[in-house]
Amino acid sequence: MWDFPLVPEQASTVAPEVDHLTLFILAINIGITALVFALLFLFSIMYARRSESEVPPQYHGSMLLEIGWSIIPSLICLVIFIWGVKVYAEIIVPPADSTDVYIVGRQWMWKAQYPTGQREINALHVAVGKPVKLTITSEDVLHSFSIPAFRVKSDAVPGRYTTMWFQPTKPGTYHLFCTEYCGTEHSRMIGKIVVMEEADHQKWLSEKAELGDALQGRKLFSKLQCVTCHAGESQARAPSLEEIYMKRIPLALDKGSAVAPGTTVLADENYLRESIRYPSARIAAGFQYPSIMPAYDESLVSEDEMFQLIAYVKSLKKGQTPTRIEQTTIPSALGAPAVRK
């Protein structure tokens, strides 16, 4: 019971950076606090009242001292701020070769899904030395995905995606906590981050292999009839989705809206999700407001399925949009006329 640690393990590339900054701020804290306590103590002894009629010299101030003790702390704060931004930049900018993993939080559990189809609940298996980028959302209330050993966390916000990344440096099992109060079982919304050697991780992935997100997404794309309008042809009723991920999309102007000419939007995960949930929010140039696309809410496309659709759109290359059903050949035994072009 007496064996308790004081600092969490450093298990990510960013953890030592955060700890160094913490030590620096701690040193300043201790320095200034010690100075204040020491002077309080010292002055109390040196200047304790000796007699009831004692009247000390009545100074009022010293411009030099006051400017000094305003400027020096300001400079110290500036240094801390700049170092803080430097570490922050490392915390929030993922490397380009990060593996994507999607996280959905809901009362009171975490779901993790790899684009290659592996799924887990309240756990995340990752490989040591490989960067991982998490795209996170919530199905209900605010949650927060926190890994103290990696020194990172990000809120899970319903209605949008937030991202975070890490690169584990040490195999082991680490705490996963929900750190945004989310109701009754908030303190039970915890899990494990399991960091494995890469070979073990590959083995784990193949053991848990299922159909990948992109393939599931293609099935949804057909089932939900997206292809009716997003047919990938020049005369289609909706924009082609081939290779649009992370492209700049010019927006259509709306007579009543505030969209200025030339406004563009970056087609990231948040925009793709918004376009499915709220199709009339921001429409691509060449099409009219309001959108003819129906809105797909949680009952039609759950958050898990949303990740699959997005994975599919991300994977869609030129010429790969599926064909519409009426373009396929109908067997003559069904007695239908020849297929229309």
Partner 1 sequence: MSTMLDVKTGSGAVGASVGHDSKVNYLNHVNTAASWFLTLDHKRIALLYLVVTSFMFVLGGAYAGVIRAELITPKGDFVSSDFYNKSFTAHGVIMVFFVLIPAIPSVIGNFCLPLMLGAKDVAFPRINLISWYVYMAGASFTLFALISGGVDSGWTFYTPLSTTYLNSNVMATATGLFILGFASILTGLNFIVTIHRMRSPGLTWFRLPLFVWAIYATSVIQLLGTPVIAITLALVGVERALGVGIFDPRLGGDPILYQHLFWFYSHPAVYIMILPALGVTNELISTFSRKPVFGYTMIAGSSIAIAVFSFIVWAHHMFTSGLSPYAAMFFSLLTFSVAIPSGIKVFSWLATLFQGSISFDSPMLFAYSFIGLFTIGGMTGLFLSTLGTDIHMHDTYFVVAHFHYVMVGGTIVGYLGALHFWWPKMFGRMYAEFPAKISAILVFVGFNLTFFPQFLLGYMGMPRRYHEYPAEFQVLNLFSTAGALVLGVGYIMPIFYLTWAAFFGKKASSNPWGATTLDWTHTESPPSPHNFESTPVVTADPYDYRVIQKEGALVAH
Which token pair is 331?
A: 């067997």
Binders of partner 1: how many residues, by CB under 8 A? 90
For partner 1, the closer of residues 84 and 172 by Cβ is 84
Which SS3 state, helix, strand or coil, does residue 336 take? coil
One of 16, 95, 183, 294 touching partner 1 (CB under 8 A): 183
Q: Which amino acid is at 134?
A: L
For partner 1, the closer of residues 155 and 304 by Cβ is 155
> Is 91 near partner 1 (CB under 8 A)?
yes
For partner 1, which stretch binds (CB under 8 A), given 58-66, 227-235, 253-261, 318-326? Answer: 58-66
> Is 85 near partner 1 (CB under 8 A)?
yes
- At 98, give phi and psi (nearest 5°): -70, 145
Q: How far is the CB of 71 from partner 1 (least distance, A)?
A: 9
Greatest pairwise CA separation for the chain in angstroms: 118
For partner 1, the closer of residues 98 and 179 by Cβ is 179
What does the chain come to in residues?
A: 341
> Is 175 near partner 1 (CB under 8 A)?
yes
Q: Report, in angstroms and rounded to the nearest whole number, the Rg of the chain calculated over CA atoms.
A: 29
For partner 1, which stretch binds (CB under 8 A), given 145-153, 200-208, 252-260, 313-321? Answer: 145-153
Q: How far is the CB of 293 from partner 1 (least distance, A)?
A: 16
> Is 332 near partner 1 (CB under 8 A)?
no
Q: How far is the CB of 50 from partner 1 (least distance, A)?
A: 7
Query: Rule CB under 8 A: which of 268-297 touch partner 1?
Result: 278, 297
Query: Rule CB under 8 A: which of 294-323 touch partner 1?
Result: 297-298
DSSP string of 176-227, one letter each residue: EEE-S--STTGGG--EEEEEE-HHHHHHHHHHT----HHHHHHHHHHHTTGG
Binding mask 201-240 for partner 1 (x = CB under 8 A): ----------------------------------------
Reference 277, options 306, 250, 248; nearest CA is: 306
For partner 1, the closer of residues 191 and 217 by Cβ is 191
Reference 288, options 259, 245, 247, 323; nearest CA is: 259
For partner 1, the closer of residues 156 and 227 by Cβ is 156
One of 129, 158, 279, 322 touching partner 1 (CB under 8 A): 158
One of 128, 130, 155, 253 touching partner 1 (CB under 8 A): 155
Contact 143, 220 (CB under 8 A): no
Q: How far is the CB of 297 from partner 1 (least distance, A)?
A: 7
Whose tokens are 């960013």? That residue is 14
| Dihedral sign computed on CA atoms, order 203, 204, 210, 215 | negative
For partner 1, which stretch binds (CB under 8 A), given 53-61, 125-133, 285-293, 315-323? Answer: 53-61
Measure the CA dihedral 5/7/12/15, to 10°: -170
> Is 258 near partner 1 (CB under 8 A)?
no
> Is 188 near partner 1 (CB under 8 A)?
yes
> Is 264 near partner 1 (CB under 8 A)?
no
| Dihedral sign computed on CA atoms, order 270, 272, 273, 274 | positive
The helix (run of H) or strand (run of E) holding residue 155 is: strand 152-156
